[in-house]
Amino acid sequence: MAKIAFLFPGQGSQQPGMGADLLRDPELADLCRRCSDAANVDLRRLLVEADDEELRLTQNAQPALLFVGVGLAMMLGRRGLDPAAAAGHSVGEYTALCAGGAMSPEAAVQAVVQRGIAMAEAVPAGTTSMVAVLGLAPEAVEAALVGVPDVWPANYNTPTQVVVGGTMLGLDRATTRLQEAGAKRVLPLNVSAAFHTPLVESAGSFLRGALEVVPWTLPQIPVVANLTAEPYSDPDTIAITLERQLSSPVRWGDGVRKLTELGCDTFLEVGPKRALTGMMRELAPGAFAAAVGTPQAVAEVAVPVH
């Protein structure tokens, strides 16, 4: 049998209307109402009516993405496609923990709403951002950034893709240095701040209060953390790990390699778009990978039988 890992995307994968089809499912519509009440947010409007500009805001994108991931994971479970392990990119780690049973969907939405508010308030809007650097090894990216103020590696995604975050001025200078170092492309990302850098470190104390009240339990499956690229082994460490994740680089490539070490050979990206699926050719060349972003995709995905 295939050993399936669920991968949950982070901010940047959101798109308008991404939850409309999900909410036609009565069970998920009811869950949406409960999550909205718990977090005091109108999830249905964000999932169905919000435009791209509104969804780009951190405090809106994060709960909406989490709910889509949780809903699709529930639908996959109805098909008998249950994960043997899971990981999520940035805010997607909360979705992975929820799918793994470490917290309820209601608690997860509450946590990411507070995370989004904390991150939005950490830096003034429009003053920081992120870019994806394609075609340079991580070591070359780090070398190119030496001496460039207020810019840091934020996501180590693959051996040839690193995301960099910083101030707008810093990113302008970094882009020139990275192009001179041989980067094939330096692409601005659809995010509202420099996540996973010291620029959002002040959000940690705000987020800590929200995370400490969650009744964490040990996930029922291995959930690999962005911070350590290792599975959680103690529920008492989840809150502090997620707090530190906020301003530390995401070690995504190492995390996927850990999933392959755990025996996973089938990877389903559970959420809108296919940002994580596109990385799998580099990270796990022999594995099966597919994006499952809609109820129709849930119905149609064909997992190989080994």
Residues belonging to the active site: 90, 196
Show Cβ contacts of residue 37 under 8 Å, excluding neighbours closer than 6 positions.
none
Q: How many C-beta atoms surround the C-beta of residue 82 within 10 A?
A: 13
Between the alpha carbon of residue 240 and those of residues 218, 234, 243, the distances in Å are: 14, 11, 5
DSSP letters for the chain: ---EEEEE--TT---TTTTTTGGGSHHHHHHHHHHHHHHTS-HHHHHHT--HHHHHSHHHHHHHHHHHHHHHHHHHHHTT---SEEEESTTHHHHHHHHTTSS-HHHHHHHHHHHHHHHHHHS-TTSEEEEEEES--HHHHHHHHTT-TTEEEEEEEETTEEEEEEEHHHHHHHHHHHHHTT-SEEEE-S-SS-TTSGGGTTHHHHHHHHHHTS-----SS-EE-TTTSSB---GGGHHHHHHHHTTS-B-HHHHHHHHHHTT--EEEEESSS-TTGGGHHHH-TTSEEEEE-SHHHHHH--PPP-
